Amino acid sequence: MGGPPIKGRGATFNPANRFRRDSREAVDDGWGASPADDVEDAGVEGDAPPPPKTIVRIQRARTIISRNDSPDIPFTQSINPYQGCEHGCIYCYARPSHAYLDLSPGLDFETRIFAKPDAAVLLRAELAAPGYRCQPIALGANTDPYQPIEREWKITRSVIETLAACDHPLTITTKGALIERDLDLLADMAGRNLVRVFVSIGMLDRTLARRIDPRAPAPQRRLQQVETLAAAGIPVGVIVAPVIPQLTDCDLESVLEAAAAHGATSAGWAMLRLPREVAPLFRAWLDAHYPLRAAHVMSLVNQVRGGRDNDSRFGARMRGSGEFAELIARRFALARRRLGLEDRHGPLDTSRFRPPVAATPSAGARRPDDRQLDLF
């Protein structure tokens, strides 16, 4: 299982889709290159395929706001402009969602991305619904809204423009430096207490970050994002996630100290989660990049997950349990208090919300949302 590292990608293979009855496995059929091959083929390593390229497809969604009632998630509404994420973070808990598209949570998740270009249109329709009740909407709950393809598609910006026009509050969690493009919108919303931004920084080690978050900005670049957002008057916090035992936990205090020095005003953290196909992907990644530490890392992961690779129980899935998890929680609490990163901003303002104004129909035309039928 697994394979050698692939430059610019997190996963080293494509695990089987759990919904399929059949599976495929690559084998060497003996027809690879050899020293006896023609001179013109010299330097070619067998029949190795070229590096996988990113393919973007359009997804026509029927609705755009996702809702949840999970007791350990601080929001009830979220929007994901994209499905799949080119950042390629090997630990991403959203990877298993690609199985619902008959794709693999491995390389497919980071190379076959689905864009939702109708997101803003769908959002206006849902916000205009008579029964809609305003609550903050989270961007970046599943995949990063500022992954590289946003530069071309601009779906996240269209969503923020729609929310800003309606005075609707939102939160954003991202690693992407492209958020700086939208400072004009976010700064204006911050002045009305309508936005919070959280930058995810799990470590400061650039080498480790390049391997584990291969297409995300370097940690130091993310700290610059924090500084830029704070300078624009936008409340910004840092999320130290995921904390990986014996791999990133040593950077916990350093990340918080650097974030505070760059203008962050709040902080949170989350323990590594390995749901479904993420566990074998992460194990293969450890074997490829840190073979001498793999067994020790997974031993501690199992300790904080009750002897398993993952614990999906509410309340335990984000923090873990046991002595190691308690130690991380205490370290985080002490550092956050010392650095003044306990959030004091209060809730976002939902009282300003104004539903989208319906377009004025042309003469003799019916409004599409008319409920009254004609008598004759």
Residue with token string 């609705």: 63
Nearest residue to 85 via CA among 145, 172, 138: 145
DSSP state of 348: P
Q: Provide the whole-model pTM.
A: 0.88
CATH number of this structure's domain 55-267, picked from the four choices 3.30.310, 3.20.20, 3.40.50, 3.40.30: 3.20.20
Query: What pLDDT is attached to residue 28?
Result: 61
Tell how strand 195-200 and strand 236-243 pair up: parallel
Check residue 3 and give its pLDDT.
81
Residue 322 to residue 305: CA distance in whole angstroms = 8
The pLDDT value recorded for residue 343 is 82
d(CA 289, CA 89): 14
Contact 196, 235 (CB under 8 A): yes
Query: Residue 14: exposed, middle, or buried by beta-carbon count in 10 A (0-12, 13-18, 19+)?
Result: buried
Q: Which helix (H) or strand (E) holds 301?
A: helix 294-304
> Given this model, what pLDDT does residue 179 score?
98
pLDDT of 27 reads 62
Domain ranges of the chain: 55-267
One digit per residue, the tens of pLDDT, for the chain of length 376 reads 678 899 899 999 998 888 877 666 666 666 655 544 544 444 444 556 678 899 999 999 999 999 999 999 999 999 999 999 999 999 999 999 999 999 999 999 999 999 999 999 999 999 999 999 999 999 998 999 999 999 999 999 999 999 999 999 999 999 999 999 999 999 999 999 999 999 999 999 999 999 999 999 999 999 999 999 999 999 999 999 999 999 999 999 999 999 999 999 999 999 999 999 999 999 999 999 999 999 999 999 999 999 999 999 998 999 999 999 999 999 999 999 999 999 888 999 999 999 998 544 444 434 444 444 555 5
- Single-letter code of the amino acid located at 343: D
Q: Which residues contact 86 (CB under 8 A, 6 or more apart)?
A: 54, 110, 111, 113, 147, 148, 149, 215
Which pairing describes strands 66-67 and 77-79: parallel, antiparallel, or unpaired?
antiparallel
Q: At what angle are helices 183-190 and 155-165 packed, to 10 degrees? A: 30
